């Protein structure tokens, strides 16, 4: 297949299984999605749904081979015509930080405390531009700090991470990630560790930079509010599998999957009456070793009995409910729409 | 920075003052408890009442405890004179008094002894620092392999086996059976080669003991560091693994090593009792044992103060170095 046939990023039946003493942890168990340049995909799910493991797989940041704690990875990850799962680790390393870059959740722990912010940006630049002088790389680092909105970048470049505020640190992380103009940017919970006011600024920044550089962006979050602001498409994960996928607007307006209803119901909203209580998703996240039979969500699903026993016996697959909007649910589509409009929507 | 240094130096002086007070307290209390008379100890076996009183007066033992402590401190800082009428003995600063047994000044005696400890500490510390941390690092990077298990077992042996066991065994083999090394300490200035030969076994056995701790510590620290987010960031930047380990992981690993290295080195300079006695090295540790065995109180006090001095200084140096290594540490 030539480069033009394939989407820019294409994940096909990705499985990431970690062997442990207690059994095989199926963190990601059959995930497929596509992403084009200039588009933003939001991957949403609770802790342990497999969203971070997915991003680390794309970046090739899992341990490899026979190393302790190394997962078994199968499936395909195509980035701009190159397959990454079966690729030589050193080939993937050369793409890391250059073609694809990542922003992490907590910018304080994600930066080395002993090196200046500038040194850490310069290092990333020079790793992919061998032969560049420190001076040129430093100019580039200052330019990037300026671009992400850090005041007095020529002075701040020599500061240590602990001398930055939380929001500034995340900006610096973004500068570090974007220093080589990556075409894919993965942001793993980029705003979770930040104040609400700063969160919005960081999301705006990511959106602006995406427009400017035309890169593909994956935002991983458990916060639907974040993806509502920034994502074109949303992928909802549960127990290592995708349960719903579609354009962001559709997912917010007419979500198909009961788990997504739960996520929306548990999201605090300013336009909601104060006396209305949040509706939690009852129960606990599933074990990834003994995943519930059939639909992994069935023990927590209020509508499981309406499937006529299929929810416990049969694994649902993603099926197109309405054009471009997929859900993995045994409930008949008409029934889902009825439940949503009659029971769920009024409470949201 | 300068303010900090000044404050720390005052701290050092205060610490030493406390140690001096405690040791002086022992000096004053022990004769009371054991029913001996320090003046009698100075005079020796032939105790002539007049001579004893003379010494008591000359050494200032007839003065009050506070006055005696003051004179003791003054002696350390500016020196002191012992005079009994026309019979004046001047003891230059830092004066730590006179040995009961040899009637020599304590300070020159300590200076004589400390050379051995410096020699012992320099060789051994280089060995254990290099070998210990290298072993720990390799073990951490090859975690779970046979190499890791073997080195950690050896390290466990190193931590567990006491010096007087490893020391005596190595003496029996390399000196007794093979005759490779002399069992004798030669001063460096006298003959560097003999100095080296005489110290090889003590260095190696002492280093084995310490290296084990360093190997275990550096292994555990490196494994912790490798799990840090910033190591993942370094990898996410596409750095080569040797750079990730060598530049990012090792720098953080060495910080705790530095701390215990300073402490160990400081402690060692104040005397290595077991090593010195095993290898017949006449250093401060040996002197400490001798003086305790013979109740030579002034020497005990001197050795204690001397050892405390090294530890306090090592502490200070470690703290200063910390600020160099870790930019988050502010000296204020």
Which of B228, B233, B239 has the CB atom closest to A127's CB atom? B239
- Residue A238 pairs in a beta bridge with A241
Beta carbons of B238 and A124 less than 8 Å apart? yes
What pLDDT was estimated at residue A88?
92
Task: Answer yes or no: do A332 and A314 share one domain.
Answer: yes
Contact (CB, 8 A) for A315 and A295: yes
Helix (H), strand (E), coil (C) string for chain A = CCCCCCCCEEEEEEEEEEEECCEEEEEEEEEEEEECCCCEEEEECCCCCCHHHHHHHHHCCCCCCCCCCCCEEEEEEEECCEECCCCCHHHHHHHECCCEEEECCCHHHHCCCCCCHHHHHHHHHHHHCCCCCHHHHHHHHHHHHHHCCCCCHHHHCCCCHHHCCHHHHHHHHHHHHHCCCCCEEEEECCCCCCCHHHHHHHHHHHHHHHHHHCCEEEEEECCHHHHHHHCCEEEEEECCEEEEEEEHHHHHHCCCCHHHHHHHHCCCCCCCCCCCCCCCCCCCCCCCCCCCCCCCCHHHCCCHHHHCCHHHHCCCCCEEEECCEEECCCCCHHHHHHHHHHHHHHHC
Query: In CATH, what number is assigned to the domain containing residue A34?
Result: 3.40.50.300
Q: What is the rounded average pLDDT of the residues A34-40? A: 93
Interface of A with B in 36-95 (CB under 8 A): 59, 61, 68, 93-95
Task: Answer yes or no: do A88 and A187 share one domain.
Answer: yes
Question: CA of A142 to nearest chain B CA: how many angstroms apart?
Answer: 18
Q: What is the ipTM of this complex?
A: 0.89
Residues of chain B contacting residue A116, judged by C-beta atoms under 8 Å apart: 327
Beta carbons of B236 and A97 less than 8 Å apart? yes
Is residue A249 situated within a structural domain? no
What pLDDT was estimated at residue A272?
64
Question: CA of A306 to nearest chain B CA: how many angstroms apart?
Answer: 45
Q: What is the rounded average pLDDT of the residues A181-198? A: 88
Task: Answer yes or no: do A193 and A173 share one domain.
Answer: no
- Give the mutation candidate from B238, B247, B329 for the A interface (greatest A CB count, under 10 A): B238
Q: Where are the domains of chain B?
A: 2-95, 106-325
Is residue A82 situated within a structural domain? yes
Between B3-17, B39-53, B280-294, the lowest mean confidence (pLDDT) is in: B39-53
pLDDT band for A1, please (50, 70, 90 cuts).
very low
Is residue A295 situated within a structural domain? yes
pLDDT, tens digit (0-9, with 9 covering 90-100), for A88-113: 999 999 999 999 999 998 888 999 99
Task: Answer yes or no: do A222 and A285 share one domain.
Answer: no
Residue of B nearest to A56 (CA): B236
Is residue A171 situated within a structural domain? yes
Q: What is the rounded average pLDDT of the residues A167-178? A: 92
Residue of A nearest to B250 (CA): A114
Q: A345 versus A219: which is more confidently predicted?
A: A219
Which of A94, A114, A116 has the CB atom closest to B251's CB atom? A114
Mean pLDDT of chain B: 86
Query: What are the backbone angles phi and psi of residue A25, rounded to the nearest 5°?
Result: -90, 115
pLDDT of B214 > 90? The answer is: yes
Rounded to whole angstroms, what are the CA distances from A187 to A103, A141, A178, A264? Answer: 5, 20, 12, 22
Task: Answer yes or no: do A93 and A189 share one domain.
Answer: yes
Determine the structural domain holding residue A140 and report its residue range.
Answer: 108-180
Residue of B nearest to A182 (CA): B237
Beta carbons of B230 and A162 less than 8 Å apart? no
pLDDT, tens digit (0-9, with 9 covering 90-100), for B54-95: 777 777 777 888 888 888 888 888 888 887 667 777 888 788
Between A286-300, B56-70, B213-227, B313-327, the lowest mean confidence (pLDDT) is in: B56-70
pLDDT band for B46, please (50, 70, 90 cuts).
low
pLDDT band for A157, please (50, 70, 90 cuts).
very high
pLDDT band for A273, please (50, 70, 90 cuts).
low
Q: What is the rounded average pLDDT of the residues A14-28? A: 93
pLDDT, tens digit (0-9, with 9 covering 90-100), for A229-244: 889 999 999 999 999 9
Task: Answer yes or no: do A212 and A66 share one domain.
Answer: yes
What pLDDT was estimated at residue A14?
96
Task: Answer yes or no: do A84 and A121 share one domain.
Answer: no
pLDDT, tens digit (0-9, with 9 covering 90-100), for A105-145: 888 899 999 999 999 999 999 999 999 999 999 999 999 99
What pLDDT was estimated at residue B216?
92
Beta carbons of B235 and A96 less than 8 Å apart? yes
pLDDT of A4 > 60? The answer is: no
What pLDDT was estimated at residue A274?
61
CB of A164 less than 8 A from some CB of B: no
Between A176-185, B115-124, B184-193, B269-278, the lowest mean confidence (pLDDT) is in: B184-193
Contact (CB, 8 A) for B210 and B132: yes
pLDDT band for A246, please (50, 70, 90 cuts).
very high
Residues of chain B contacting residue A120, judged by C-beta atoms under 8 Å apart: 233
Task: Answer yes or no: do A147 and A192 share one domain.
Answer: no
pLDDT of B295 > 90? The answer is: no
Q: pLDDT > 70: what percent of chain B?
A: 97
Q: What is the rounded average pLDDT of the residues A153-174? A: 93
Q: pLDDT > 70: what percent of chain A?
A: 96
- Give the mutation candidate from A19, A113, A121 for the B interface (greatest B CB count, under 10 A): A113
Task: Answer yes or no: do A143 and A173 share one domain.
Answer: yes
Question: CA of A319 to nearest chain B CA: how many angstroms apart?
Answer: 34
**What angle (nearest 5°) sits at the alpha carbon of residue B178, between those of residues B174 and B182?**
60
Residues of chain B contacting residue A177, judged by C-beta atoms under 8 Å apart: 236
Domain B106-325 part of CATH 3.90.480.10: no
Q: Which of A193, A215, A230 is the endpoint of a domain?
A: A230
Q: Which of A158, A180, A202 is the endpoint of a domain?
A: A180
Task: Answer yes or no: do A146 and A40 share one domain.
Answer: no
Beta carbons of B229 and A110 less than 8 Å apart? yes
Q: What is the rounded average pLDDT of the residues B256-280? A: 87
What pLDDT was estimated at residue A2?
47
- Residue B17 pairs in a beta bridge with none
pLDDT band for B187, please (50, 70, 90 cuts).
confident
pLDDT of B239 > 50? The answer is: yes
Residues of chain A contacting residue B325, judged by C-beta atoms under 8 Å apart: 114
pLDDT of A3 > 60? The answer is: no
Beta carbons of B230 and A109 less than 8 Å apart? yes
Record the pTM.
0.84
Is residue A192 situated within a structural domain? yes
Which range, A14-28, A185-199, A294-308, B196-210, has the best average confidence (pLDDT)?
A14-28
pLDDT of B47 > 70? The answer is: no
Question: CA of B331 to nearest chain A CA: how many angstroms apart?
Answer: 15
Q: How many domains does chain A have?
A: 3
Task: Answer yes or no: do A328 and A306 share one domain.
Answer: yes
Task: Answer yes or no: do A162 and A306 share one domain.
Answer: no
pLDDT, tens digit (0-9, with 9 covering 90-100), for B14-44: 999 999 898 888 777 777 777 777 777 777 6
Residue of A nearest to B253 (CA): A114
Is residue A126 situated within a structural domain? yes
Mean pLDDT of chain A: 90
């Amino acid at each position: 297949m030539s480069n033009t046939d394939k989407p820019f990023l294409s994940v096909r039946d990705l499985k990431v299984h970690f062997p442990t003493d207690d059994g095989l942890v199926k963190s990601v168990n059959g995930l497929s999605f596509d992403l084009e340049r200039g588009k933003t995909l939001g991957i949403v799910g609770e802790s342990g749904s497999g969203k971070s493991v997915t991003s680390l797989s794309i970046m090739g940041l899992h341990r490899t081979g026979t190393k302790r704690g190394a997962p078994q990875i199968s499936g395909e990850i195509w980035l701009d015509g190159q397959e990454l799962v079966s690729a030589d680790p050193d080939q993937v390393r050369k793409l890391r930080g250059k073609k694809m870059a990542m922003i992490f959740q907590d910018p304080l722990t994600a930066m080395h405390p002993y090196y200046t912010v500038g040194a850490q940006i310069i290092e990333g630049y020079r790793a992919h531009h061998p032969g560049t002088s420190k001076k040129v790389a430093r100019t580039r680092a200052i330019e990037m700090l300026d671009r992400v909105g850090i005041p007095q970048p020529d002075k701040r470049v020599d500061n240590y991470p602990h001398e930055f505020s939380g929001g500034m640190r995340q900006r610096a992380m973004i500068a570090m990630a974007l220093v080589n103009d990556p075409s894919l940017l993965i942001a793993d919970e980029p705003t979770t560790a930040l104040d609400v006011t700063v969160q919005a600024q960081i999301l705006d920044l990511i959106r602006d930079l995406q427009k400017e550089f035309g890169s593909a962006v994956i935002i991983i979050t458990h916060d639907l509010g974040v993806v509502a602001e920034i994502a074109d498409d949303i992928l909802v994960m549960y127990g290592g599998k995708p349960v719903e996928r579609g354009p962001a607007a559709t997912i917010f307006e007419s979500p198909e999957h009961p788990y997504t209803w739960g996520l929306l119901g548990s999201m605090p909203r300013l336009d909601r009456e104060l006396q209305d209580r949040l509706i939690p998703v009852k129960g606990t996240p599933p074990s990834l070793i003994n995943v519930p039979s059939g639909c992994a969500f069935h023990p927590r699903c209020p509508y499981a009995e309406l499937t006529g026993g299929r929810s416990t016996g049969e694994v649902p697959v993603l099926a197109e409910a309405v054009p471009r909007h997929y859900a993995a649910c045994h409930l008949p589509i008409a029934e889902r729409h009825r439940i949503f409009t009659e029971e769920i929507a009024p409470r949201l | 920075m300068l303010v900090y240094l000044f404050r720390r130096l005052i701290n050092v002086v205060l610490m030493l003052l406390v140690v001096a007070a405690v040791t002086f307290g022992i000096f004053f209390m022990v004769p009371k408890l054991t029913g001996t008379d320090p003046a009698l100890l100075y005079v020796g076996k032939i105790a002539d009442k007049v001579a004893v009183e003379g010494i008591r007066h000359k050494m200032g033992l007839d003065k009050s405890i506070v006055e005696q402590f003051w004179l003791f401190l003054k002696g350390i800082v500016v020196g002191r004179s012992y005079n009994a009428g026309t019979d004046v003995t001047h003891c230059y600063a830092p004066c730590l008094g006179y040995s009961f047994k040899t009637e020599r000044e304590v300070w020159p005696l300590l200076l004589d002894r400390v050379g051995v400890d410096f020699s012992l500490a320099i060789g051994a510390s280089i060995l254990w620092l290099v070998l210990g941390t290298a072993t720990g690092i390799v073990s951490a990077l090859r975690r779970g392999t046979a190499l890791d298990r073997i080195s950690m077992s050896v390290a466990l042996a190193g931590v567990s086996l006491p010096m007087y066991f490893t020391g005596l065994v190595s003496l029996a083999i390399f000196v007794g059976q093979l005759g490779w090394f002399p069992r004798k300490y030669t001063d460096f200035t006298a003959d560097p080669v003999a100095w080296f030969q005489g110290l090889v076994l003590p260095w190696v056995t002492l280093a084995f003991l310490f290296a084990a701790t360093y190997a275990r510590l550096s292994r555990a620290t490196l494994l912790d560091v490798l799990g840090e987010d910033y190591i993942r960031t370094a990898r996410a930047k596409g750095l080569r693994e040797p750079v990730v380990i060598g530049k990012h992981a090792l720098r953080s690993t060495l910080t705790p090593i530095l701390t215990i290295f300073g402490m160990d080195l400081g402690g060692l300079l104040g005397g290595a009792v077991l090593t010195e006695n095993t290898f017949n090295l006449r250093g401060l540790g040996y002197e400490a044992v001798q003086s305790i065995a013979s109740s030579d109180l002034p020497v005990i006090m001197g050795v204690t103060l001397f050892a405390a001095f090294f530890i306090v200084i090592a502490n200070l140096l470690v703290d200063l170095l910390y600020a160099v290594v870790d930019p988050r540490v502010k000296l204020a």
